[in-house]
Amino acid sequence: MTEPSSLKQRARVLSDDEFAQIPWVTSLTADEREHVRQDMLVTIAEPGDYVVRIGRPVTYWFGLIEGLLKMSNDDSRGSAITFTGIAPGGWFGEGTVLKREPYRYNIQALRTSRLAGISTEMFDWLIGHSLGFNRFVMLQLNERLGQFIAAREIDRMASPDLRVARNLAAMFEPKLYPGVAEMLRITQQELAYLVGLSRQRVNEALRTLAAHGWIRVEYGGLRVLDLNALRYGELNAPVSGDLSAYDKRPLA
């Protein structure tokens, strides 16, 4: 299991293609983009690696280019609680960077993940110089607030099927995770980690959601067919179909 300091040691500069995948750079001026390009780095986190840890000082603002992460609490005093999954295109921790406080959560890789990051100094420079960046951060904080309000409601749900549906909807949020689009690369076991249910129970929930036409299970992931239903729908119709082939297979 790798610590965040080790991730920095194996960091490198971004390729042109990787830089083009950063969603918020389009809101910058040409001079601002060039300034950011000189500072931004990319690194690889393997499954189980920590990107950030509770109590550690903040030094970078991170975004996920490829892979899957989970945000959780400290498990030293009991079972860990997963707050949310972080899907491709998502940038996280801006509140911690703004407040310059130690991290209050862990971010851990569920699969091999490629991350980009800018230093806190660059983050501050953008806040002071870029109207487009400020607008992005403001919208990001607003979306994140809505996400965590919804998470409290999900925790109170008695229906495991709806818990899976609402958690999936959160990871298909285009403003927070623009790299997902309609297809989320995730295994049944990874989804179980994020939702807090057994893999078997998640399988049952996926059968139900697919039978209602909300999702389609594909090799290595899930395709959303009705995002509004995942967010707000209720489940009343009988379940049909067999999705038992969806398991822990590697990505296609």
Distance, CA of 103 to CA of 50 (rounded, Å): 12
Geometric angle at alpha carbon 16, from 47 and 33, rounded to 5°: 105
Cα dist from 74 to 48, 82, 145, whole Å:
14, 10, 21
CA dihedral 44, 45, 46, 47 (to 10 degrees): -150
Q: Which two tokens stand for residue 30?
A: 């040409």
**Lowest-confidence range among 40-49, 74-83, 192-201, 238-247?**
238-247
Angle between helices 120-129 and 30-39 in degrees, nearest 10: 170
End-to-end CA distance of the chain: 26
Beta partners for residue 63, in sequence order:
91, 116
Angle between helices 188-195 and 160-171 in degrees, nearest 10: 100
How high is the pLDDT of residue 237? 53
241 has pLDDT over 60: no
152 has pLDDT over 70: no
Listed residue (153, 168, 147, 157) closest to 215, CA to CA:
168
Q: Which two tokens stand for residue 19?
A: 């830089």
71 in Cβ contact with 116 (< 8 Å): no
Cα dist from 41 to 18, 65, 111, 194, whole Å:
10, 12, 20, 27
Global pTM? 0.82
Run of H or E including 204 = helix 199-211
What is the Cα Rg of the chain in Å?
18
Q: What is residue 1's DSSP assignment?
A: -
How high is the pLDDT of residue 252? 36
How high is the pLDDT of residue 147? 72
Q: Considering the chain, what is the average pLDDT of its residues?
A: 86
161 in Cβ contact with 217 (< 8 Å): no
Distance, CA of 70 to CA of 50 (rounded, Å): 10
Q: What band does 250 get if pLDDT is binned at 50, 70 and 90?
A: very low
Give every CB contact of residue 78 below 8 A, 6+ residues apart in sequence.
Answer: none
pLDDT in tens, 54-97: 999 999 999 999 999 999 886 656 666 788 889 999 999 999 99
Distance, CA of 9 to CA of 58 (rounded, Å): 16
Q: What are the domain boundaries of the chain?
A: 4-150, 159-232
Q: What is the CATH number of domain 159-232?
A: 1.10.10.10
Residue with tokens 């129970």: 201
Is the domain spanning 4-150 CATH 2.60.120.10? The answer is yes
How high is the pLDDT of residue 91? 95
Beta partners for residue 119, in sequence order:
60
Distance, CA of 28 to CA of 39 (rounded, Å): 15
Listed residue (166, 172, 176, 94) closest to 143, CA to CA:
176
